[in-house]
Amino acid sequence: MHNTSPNSQHRPLELWGGLECTVNRVRDEYFSQLDRNGHALRACDIGRFASLGIRAIRYPVLWERTAPDGLDKADWSWPDERLPALRDAGVTPIAGLIHHGSGPRDTSLMDPAFPERLAEYAGAVAARYPWLEYYTPVNEPCTTARFAGLYGVWYPHARDDRSFIQALLVQCRAVVLCMRAIRKVNPNAKLVQTDDLGKTYSTPELAHVAEFYNERRWLAWDLLCGMMGPEHKLWKYLLGTGIDAAEFLWFRDNPCPPDVIGVNYYVTSERWLDHRPERYPQHHRGVADGVPCADIEASRALATPTPGIGPLLGEVWERYRLPIAVTEAHIDANREDQLRWLLEIWEAAQTARQVGVDVRAVTVWSLLGSFDWNSLVTQNRGYYEPGPFDVRSKMPRPTALAAMMRELGSGRTPSHPVLRGQGWWRRPGRFLCTPIATPAAITSISADGHRLVGTGAAPILITGATGTPGRAFARICQKRSLHYKLLSRMEMDIADPASVERALAHHKPWAVINTSGYVRVDDAEGEVERCMRDNTVGAATLAEACARHGVHLTTFSSDLVFDGSKGSPYVESDPVTPLNVYGRSKAESETAVLAAHPGALVVRTSAFFGPWDRHNFVKLALDALERGERFAAANDMTVSPTYVPDLVHTCLDLAIDRECGVWHLNNVGSVTWYELARMAAEKAGIDAAKLVAQTASEIGMAAARPAYSVLHSERAILLPRLENALERFIELRGVDDPEYEELVKTAESRQPVASGHRQQEETPAEAVAGSF
C-alpha cells in the first residue's frame, strides 16, 4: 500500500480487498457477517486473500467481538493470529473497529459515552499492534446514522431527524477521539474514512428534496474536515433538530480530516425522486418533505443511464482535495455483471486520475460475499451474494472475480470474454416503470463503460436448438447480454468430428454448452445404438474438440446414473450404477468427457421443469387438473426437481468461473412425482381431486428407474429450495413470452428433416422424465 504524499498519485492504481464484517443489531439480536461467511473460524482465508494480488484489505478488529464485556475481559486471540498473518503475506490491514455496529450491548449510537469508550478500545488496539498504520474506526457513519436514527432499521430504531444527527455526531466524535488515541501510540497512523457516495436526481417538483439529500451525503466528511459552521448549507437544518450549535462547532475546533476519503458505491447509490408515485411499483412509493413521491434506483427509471461513479469522484475531489479510494465496489448480480461492474469502476477511477483526481485504489467488496443485505441485514433468510470467493462450498471457491482481480493486481488487462457485454444497469430491460427522460444535467456528462456486444465478441455456442434446455440457455444469455449462438444439429452434429471442428473454427467460441442428446428414456431400451451415439459418442467428440481448442465445455448428465439402492441423497463422489440404457449412456459420457477434457463441467440434474415449454411435468399436471381432467403421477419414485431458470443461471455462472468436474445442481427438496404435482396444485390454488397416484409400471414406464434418485451436492448448494422455485414458476405460468416464442420459431425454421437421424421432438414429461 502506498503512502499519502502528493506525488504518490503518479503510482499505479492499487487493488484493495474488503471483508464484509457487519455486526449490526436489530432490537436484541445481532447479525454477524463473520459468523455467516465462516471467516471467524477460518484463518486459512488469509492466504486466499493474498493470492488475489491486493495491496491492502479492510479488515475487522471489531469492538463488539473483541471486548464486548470491557477491555479487562478482551480476547485478542483472533486479531493476534490474523493481523500478523496479513502483514507477513504482504497485505496491509486497514483496521475497522465498528462496521455498521452499535458497540457492546450496554451502549448505542445515541450514548454520549460511546465516543470515549470506543476511543479507549482504539487506544488498546494501537498499543497491542503499534505497527498498524491505517484505520477506519467507524464505517459509513452517515449511512449508519440514517439506518439507525432516521429509518429505524437498526438499533436503537429511531425515526426522526434529531436522532439521525445525534447518531452521526456520536460516531464522528468517536472517529476524532479514536484517531487521537491511536496517534498517541503511532503518530503516523492514517484515517481512511468511508461512507456511501450517492447522488439523487429528481423531477423539478422535488428538486429541493434532491438538493437536500445531495448536501446531506457529505455530512460526516464535512464534520471531520472542520467544515461545519453557520456558512454550511445545512446549518439551519442541523440547528432545527434542537441540538446545541456547540456540538457541531466542536468539530471545527477539533478537525480530523481523513488521510484517504473512502467512497462506497453501489448501483443503488444513485436515486431518482418523482412526484408522481403512481408511475412506480408500490414498494418504491413514500413521502419526502410532505410530498408523496417515488424513490427508486436511477438505473431502474432513467431512459439514459447516469455516467456512474466517474463524475462523483470528481465531486469528492473538488470538495475536499484529499486522496480518494473506492472502498467498496460490489453488485448483487450474475457473474458477468459482477465482472462488468468492477471493470467499469476501475476504468472510471483510471479516467479520473487522468484529469487530476487523486484516486489511490479500488476495493473489491466483499471477498467472501455477503448475507441478507437485500433486507438490510434485518432478517436471517440466507440470501447470499457471492464475491471473489463463494463460501457455499466446503471451502471458499474462487469465482471469475478472483481471476479478474489477479489480472488487475498485476497490471494486466481483464480478459474474460463476457466483459464485452453491457451490465444490466445499462441494458434496455432494466426498467421497473415507464422510462423517464433523463434530465439534461445528467446526459450532458459523458459516460464511459458502455460495452455493446458486437461481432468481435467470442460467443458461447449452445447445442440443441430444438430442445427446451437449449432455448432456455439462449433466452437467458440474451437477457444477460452474453453473446451466444444457438446451433441445430445441421449446424453442428456433436457426434461428427468434422462437423464439430468446422463449427468451432467458424464461431471461435470461448465456451460450449451442450444441451443436445437423446432424451427418451423408455425408447432408449430399443434404440441403444442411437442413444449411445447421441449421448456418449457425441459428448466425448465435443469434449475432445473443445480441449484441443482451449474452449470451456458444459455438458449434462442425469440422476439416472444411480440405481437408488443407497436410499439417501446421492453426492458427486458416489459410484454410478445405472439401471437403464439412458442412464448407462450418461454414465459413460461423464467418464469420456472428463478423460478427454478435464476442464469440462459435467452437470447432473433431475426432473426439470420451467415456464417456457409446453411439455414439462408440472405444466402438464396443472393444466390437466385445471381443466378438471384426471392426471396420473408416479408415487414410487422420489426425485429432486430442478427449475430450469435456476439451473441455467447457475450453469452460466459456473461456466464463467470456468468450473470443472461433476456438479449436482437441483433445487433443494425431494418429492415423488405425485407429491410434486400435488404441491404445485396447492401453490397454484388448483383443485387436485383428479390427481391419481400410480406406480411407474402402471403409468407405462418401460425402462427400469431408481425408486430413489435424489441428488445432493458435496461441492456447494447453489440453487434455492423447491418450494421457492414452484412459487416463481406459478407466477410466470400463463404469461406470454414473445421473445421465447420467437426463439422457438427461429429454431424450428432452421431445423430441416435430417437424413439418417430422426430429430428429437418435444415429448410428454412422463416419457422424458426431465432428462437432458
Q: Which residues are catalytic?
A: 582
Task: Assign 3-class secondary structure to 593-606.
Answer: HHHHCCCCEEEEEC
Tell me if residue 201 falls in helix, strand or coil.
Answer: strand
Q: Which three cell numbers stand for residue 130?
A: 503499534
DSSP string, 136-185: EEEE-HHHHHIIIIIS--STT---SHHHHHHHHHHHHHHHHHHHHHHHHH
Alpha carbon distance 746, 702 (integer Å):
34
Instruction: Give 113-116's long-range contacts (Cβ < 8 A, gap of 24+).
Output: 114/170, 114/171, 114/174, 115/170, 115/173, 115/174, 115/176, 115/177, 116/177
CA 169, 174, 180, 183 dihedral sign is negative
Alpha carbon distance 719, 647 (integer Å):
7
CB 9, CB 358: distance < 8 Å = yes
Integer-rounded Cα radius of gyration of the chain: 29
- H or E element that contains 292: strand 291-297
> What residues does 638 pair with on adjacent strands?
672, 708
Alpha carbon distance 268, 617 (integer Å):
39
* Spatial CA neighbour of 345 closest among 309, 317, 316, 369: 309
DSSP string, 697-743: HHHT--S---SB--B--SSB--S-BHHHHHHHHHHHTT---HHHHHH
CB 18, CB 39: distance < 8 Å = no
φ and ψ of 666, to 5 deg: -160, 160
* Spatial CA neighbour of 57 closest among 387, 401, 327, 342: 327
Tell me if residue 525 falls in helix, strand or coil.
Answer: helix
Task: Assign 3-class secondary structure to 557-595.
Answer: EEHHHCCCCCCCCECCCCCCCCCCHHHHHHHHHHHHHHH
Q: Which three cell numbers stand for residue 164?
A: 439521525
CB 317, CB 357: distance < 8 Å = yes
Measuring CA to CA, how many Å separate 712 from each of 575, 639, 642, 644, 670?
14, 11, 12, 17, 10
DSSP string, 413-440: PP--GGGGSPPGGGSGGG-SSSPBPPPH
Compute the C-alpha angle 519/522/538, nearest 5°: 35
Per DSSP, 464 falls in state -
Per-state percent for the chain, helix, strand, coil, to nearest 5 = 40, 20, 40
Alpha carbon distance 645, 468 (integer Å):
11
Measuring CA to CA, how many Å separate 509 from each of 67, 101, 683?
55, 48, 41
Tell me if residue 33 falls in helix, strand or coil.
Answer: helix
Q: Which three cell numbers stand for residue 451?
A: 460495452
* The length of the chain, given as a count of residues: 772
Alpha carbon distance 47, 50 (integer Å):
5
Tell me if residue 395 falls in helix, strand or coil.
Answer: coil
- HSE, CB side, 13 Å, CA atoms: give it for residue 385: 21
> What residues does 572 pair with on adjacent strands?
none
> What residues does 558 pair with on adjacent strands?
605
